[in-house]
Amino acid sequence: MNLVVVSNRVARGKANEPMTGGLAAALLPVVENSGAIWVGSSGRVRDGSQKEPFAEIEALGAGALAMLDLPAAHYGGYYEGFANSALWPALHSRADLIRASNGDYLSYREVNAFMARALLRFRKPDTAYWVQDYHFLALGAELRKLGVTQPLGFFLHTPWAGRTIIEGVPNHRELIESMLAYDLIGFQTRDDWENFVSYIESNLGLVAQDGVITSHFGRTHVAVFPIGIDPEKFAQQAAKAVAHPDVSRLRRSLDGEKLAIGVDRLDYSKGLINRINAFDRMWTVQPTLARTVSLLQIATPSRGAIEAYGNLQSELARLVSDVNGRHGEVDWTPIRYLNKGFSQTVLAGLYRTAQVGVVTPLQDGMNLVAKEYVAAQNPADPGVLVLSKFAGAANELDTALLVNPHDIDGMARTIATALTMPLIERRMRWEAMMDKLRSSTIHRWFADFVDSLQATRIDDAPAQLPESDLAAEWSLRSVNLSARHH
């Protein structure tokens, strides 16, 4: 099978580059090994006058990475507009933050249609397309409109909210109906699956029989595939990374003090305000903990052009400075707050340095930081994960200290408990979590989804499509590129 993976954000194969997206960083090693073609946005836009979508193509492992310039006239309405100001807040149960115009929806559909046209270039008779995330809910339907009959899979990295919240998204019915063009739709958790099925049954009047929905598009299988990491590889990276200059400088600066760490995109779904409030509460209620532990909070700015994100950045900066002003000393800063991204290598070393990992989103599809924090620990002296029960990861990492991120007192108490947890309990909890990570790796996730996608079509005759000239041209270029690469 010739796999084409599609996502808005893609990652280039450079281990030392800072990475913003959980999805892009997670997919990189598996896509690299699989020989798939990975198609996404270049991050640049181009006006609509060109006939063919413009893609920069480079070798990626055994496959290739194609980065497309998206249409300038529709990019804002698609990315900042419909994807991140309507779908993102709705999927994370923040109906109060939904903002979208009909124009944004039309731009979103235009970009999905544009991507579909661009994907024809990579079509071969045995191609299967695997689309990632909420940016491309309608891409499957656009591909079908163009006559694509090959298997189409879709995986949602975010949560899927309850149907009354989804109903707050403009054009939700048309959009979700279009999702049924996919042969397979994957979710992170059973809750997301149930919310989706409930929408389909109540709003579209269709039935999901044993996870299969029948509509005018045919059959759509819906299933749960919790995404994982490569825990062994991450552990090795973490053990090596302690020698990295950034990590050793951090260690020297601690001087016996304990460290808690939080690493997030600067996003309202991550519960950053509540987390800072919990640390504030802890130092207020237990002043003896001042100077014995500080928080390193990395909050990488993202989607800055959207008002809700700009407001959060200002609010967070004010809050951190207020907490530091009240609890700090001439030689002690309670919260080290950084607005920049770090490479996976450095992050692995920072996680290993911290005695407590705080991952407290209000809602999260999975949250791979939680899994990476666990994998990065020293087995002889592991740190403690404080994890929101509203992160998808809590389903598997149930021996973390689970918290309700809305309960500031409860979080403050739990962080203090984590700081004093005896080694024997830390090891027991950590070993149980590592077992889970080992049994549900990113490699397994990738293989399970691709196998299930193939299985959805097992009875269908293979599509007999002529190879397009562009596909042939791409093959030639890819051979040349691969030859240069190795």
Cβ closer to ligand F6P: 14 or 145?
A: 14
Member of 74, 109, 265, 270 binding ligand F6P (CB under 6 A): 265
92 near ligand F6P (CB under 6 A): no
21 near ligand F6P (CB under 6 A): yes
DSSP string for 333-390: -SEEEE-S---HHHHHHHHHH-SEEEE--SSBS--HHHHHHHHTS-TTS--EEEEETT
29 near ligand F6P (CB under 6 A): no
User: Which x/- pattern over 427-466 shows residues binding ligand F6P (rule: CB under 6 A)?
Assistant: ----------------------------------------
Tell me the C-alpha distance between 354 and 384, whole Å. 9
Member of 85, 150, 158, 269 binding ligand F6P (CB under 6 A): 158
Among positive and negative, which fits the CA dihedral 421, 422, 428, 433? Answer: positive
Taking the complex as a whole, the smallest distance from the CB of residue 170 to ligand F6P amounts, in Å, to: 20
Taking the complex as a whole, the smallest distance from the CB of residue 234 to ligand F6P amounts, in Å, to: 17
Tell me the C-alpha distance between 154 and 134, whole Å. 9
Beta strands in 116-257 (DSSP E): 127-132, 152-155, 184-187, 208-209, 212-215, 218-224
Q: Which residue among the candidates 92, 157, 172, 327 is catalytic per the annotation?
A: 157
Taking the complex as a whole, the smallest distance from the CB of residue 272 to ligand F6P amounts, in Å, to: 14
Q: In the chain, what is the greatest distance between 2 CA atoms, to the nearest angstrom?
A: 73
Using an 8 Å Cβ cutoff, are 277 and 312 in contact? no
Cβ closer to ligand F6P: 11 or 358?
A: 11
Only one residue has tokens 């790796």, namely: 441
Active-site annotation holds for 69: no
Cβ closer to ligand F6P: 84 or 399?
A: 84
Using an 8 Å Cβ cutoff, are 361 and 22 in contact? no
Using an 8 Å Cβ cutoff, are 340 and 233 in contact? no
157 near ligand F6P (CB under 6 A): yes
User: Which x/- pattern over 334-353 shows residues binding ligand F6P (rule: CB under 6 A)?
Assistant: --------------------
Name the amino acid, one letter, at 395: N
Member of 22, 29, 151, 361 binding ligand F6P (CB under 6 A): 22
Total Cβ atoms within 10 A of residue 16: 10
- Region of residue 205 (left: phi > 0; alpha: psi -120 to 50; beta: else): left
Active-site annotation holds for 157: yes
- Apex 330 CA angle, 328 and 335, nearest 5: 35
Taking the complex as a whole, the smallest distance from the CB of residue 132 to ligand F6P amounts, in Å, to: 8
Total Cβ atoms within 10 A of residue 420: 11
Tell me the C-alpha distance between 387 and 485, whole Å. 41
Stretch that binds ligand F6P, among 10-18, 20-28, 62-70, 118-126 (CB under 6 A): 20-28
Binders of ligand F6P in range 55-84 (CB under 6 A): none
Cβ closer to ligand F6P: 22 or 357?
A: 22
Q: Which residue among the candidates 133, 183, 280, 364 is catalytic per the annotation?
A: 364
Member of 71, 153, 365, 383 binding ligand F6P (CB under 6 A): 365
Binders of ligand F6P in range 297-336 (CB under 6 A): 302-303
Taking the complex as a whole, the smallest distance from the CB of residue 139 to ligand F6P amounts, in Å, to: 15
94 near ligand F6P (CB under 6 A): no
Among positive and negative, which fits the CA dihedral 55, 302, 395, 373? Answer: positive
Member of 133, 142, 183, 396 binding ligand F6P (CB under 6 A): 133
Tell me the C-alpha distance between 412 and 1, whole Å. 51
23 near ligand F6P (CB under 6 A): yes
Cβ closer to ligand F6P: 23 or 308?
A: 23
Among positive and negative, which fits the CA dihedral 74, 80, 86, 92? Answer: positive
Residues binding ligand F6P (CB under 6 A): 9, 20-23, 133, 157-158, 265, 302-303, 365
Task: Please identify every residue annotated as catalytic.
Answer: 157, 364
